[in-house]
């Protein structure tokens, strides 16, 4: 196994596609964890996978179907804000049922379903890389702009109410950005690999970050480093990317927990 494989022309595009997403997803995850809404990322991923499968059956681009389904999930999340985790669970159940029925009744959906579950990143192309780059260019500045309102809304919930303003438009915009990023990651990396990159790096960064900005930096670095290692290991040992990425992320959390407890 060699990290030279990462720069092989055959794997260069998939590697950099995932690397961009591995830097973006943990940042999204930091704000989801800030609001105790990290489960929403899994709901977005499940909805995106079902949408991508439906798009394949209808002979539409899978990326378009995944993005539309995840954006719909983001809108439903905003409208059902009071339902909390119940709304996320219902979306996951709906997406799982729809995805399994599509896989069971359509041969093309069966093949794509395995790819989405296993996380066969190596089959992504230049279109995925371009989409990942565009999403990073769009999401990162908007996320920086939303950072202060999201922090104020979490730590000073009466801030906007005292000024006669509503925080919901900003929250809806953040939900749409999160749904967009998770949808593309789901189609490119697989359902559980995308969720692992949203969930685990912030979980570690919350322990070791000395400030909010430091935590953001830690989460992005952990996500990208963990992703690169998972890509190299899965490629070198000819294993599906998704489970390797998930296992490596869990191992990183376990190791960091041991070191944190000893401090």
Q: What is the pLDDT of residues 114-140, one digit of tens each?
A: 667 666 665 677 888 899 999 999 999
Helix ranges (H only) for the chain are 9-34, 39-57, 62-79, 85-105, 107-118, 126-155, 159-162, 168-189, 191-208, 212-236, 241-262
Whether residue 252 has pLDDT greater than 70: yes
Q: Rounded mean pLDDT of 176-181?
A: 90
Distance CA 194, CA 159 (A): 33
Q: Residue 159 in contact with residue 46, Cβ under 8 Å?
A: no
pLDDT of residue 98: 84
| Cβ neighbours for 6, distance < 8 A, ≥ 6 positions apart | 12, 15, 228, 231, 232, 235
Distance CA 182, CA 118 (A): 16
Confidence of residue 58 (pLDDT cuts 50, 70, 90): confident
Whether residue 29 has pLDDT greater than 90: yes
Cβ of 208: how many Cβ atoms within 10 Å?
A: 15
Distance CA 252, CA 259 (A): 11
pLDDT of residue 111: 65
Whether residue 6 has pLDDT greater than 70: no
> What is the three-class DSSP state of 197?
helix
Average pLDDT, the chain: 83
pLDDT digits (tens, 9 = 90+) for 232-248: 898 888 888 889 999 99
Task: Give the whole-number percent of the chain exceeding pLDDT 70.
Answer: 83
- In this structure, of 17-26, 121-130, 176-185, the range with the lowest mean pLDDT score is 121-130
DSSP string across 134-187: HHHHHHHHHHHHHHHHHHHHHH-TTHHHHTT--SHHHHHHHHHHHHHHHHHHHH
Confidence of residue 69 (pLDDT cuts 50, 70, 90): confident
Q: Rounded mean pLDDT of 23-47?
A: 90
pLDDT of residue 263: 57
Residue in 169, 187, 170, 171 with CA at minimum distance from that of residue 68: 187
Q: Rounded mean pLDDT of 169-181?
A: 88
Confidence of residue 217 (pLDDT cuts 50, 70, 90): very high
Distance CA 218, CA 172 (A): 26
Task: Give the whole-number percent of the chain exceeding pLDDT 90.
Answer: 32
Q: Which two tokens stand for residue 255?
A: 């190791």
- In this structure, of 49-58, 116-125, 150-159, 222-231, the range with the lowest mean pLDDT score is 116-125
**CA distances to 87, 153, 180, 184 from 21, in Å:** 26, 26, 11, 8
pLDDT of residue 1: 46
Look up the pTM and report it.
Answer: 0.88
Cβ of 145: how many Cβ atoms within 10 Å?
A: 11
Residue in 228, 181, 190, 247 with CA at minimum distance from that of residue 12: 228
Q: Rounded mean pLDDT of 173-183?
A: 90
Q: Residue 52 in contact with residue 112, Cβ under 8 Å?
A: yes
Q: Rounded mean pLDDT of 215-233?
A: 94
Q: Rounded mean pLDDT of 64-92?
A: 75
Structure letter (DSSP) for residue 6: G
Looking at per-residue pLDDT, the higher value among 165 and 71 belongs to 71
Residue in 27, 243, 31, 8 with CA at minimum distance from that of residue 135: 27
Q: Rounded mean pLDDT of 82-104?
A: 78
Distance CA 98, CA 50 (A): 6
């Amino acid at each position: 196994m060699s990290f030279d494989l990462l720069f092989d022309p055959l794997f260069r595009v998939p590697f950099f596609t995932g690397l961009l997403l591995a830097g973006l997803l943990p940042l999204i995850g930091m704000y989801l964890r800030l609001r105790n809404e990290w489960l929403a990322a899994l709901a977005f991923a499940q909805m995106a996978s079902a949408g991508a499968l439906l798009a394949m059956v209808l002979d539409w681009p899978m990326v378009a179907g995944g993005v539309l389904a995840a954006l719909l999930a983001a809108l439903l999340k905003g409208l059902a804000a009071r339902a909390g985790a119940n709304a996320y669970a219902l979306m996951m159940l709906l997406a799982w049922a729809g995805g399994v029925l599509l896989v069971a009744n359509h041969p093309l959906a069966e093949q794509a379903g395995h790819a989405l579950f296993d996380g066969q990143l190596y089959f992504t192309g230049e279109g995925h890389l371009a989409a990942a780059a565009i999403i990073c260019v769009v999401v990162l500045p908007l996320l920086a702009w939303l950072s202060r309102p999201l922090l104020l809304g979490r730590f000073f919930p009466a801030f906007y109410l005292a000024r006669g303003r509503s925080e919901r438009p900003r929250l809806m915009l953040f939900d749409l950005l999160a749904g967009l990023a998770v949808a593309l990651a789901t189609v490119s990396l697989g359902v559980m690999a995308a969720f692992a990159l949203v969930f685990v790096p912030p979980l570690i960064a919350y322990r070791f970050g000395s400030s909010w900005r430091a935590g953001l930096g830690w989460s992005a670095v952990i996500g990208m480093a963990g992703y690169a290692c998972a890509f190299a290991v899965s490629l070198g040992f000819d294993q599906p990317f998704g489970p390797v990425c998930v296992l490596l992320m869990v191992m990183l959390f376990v190791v960091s927990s041991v070191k944190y407890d000893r401090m």
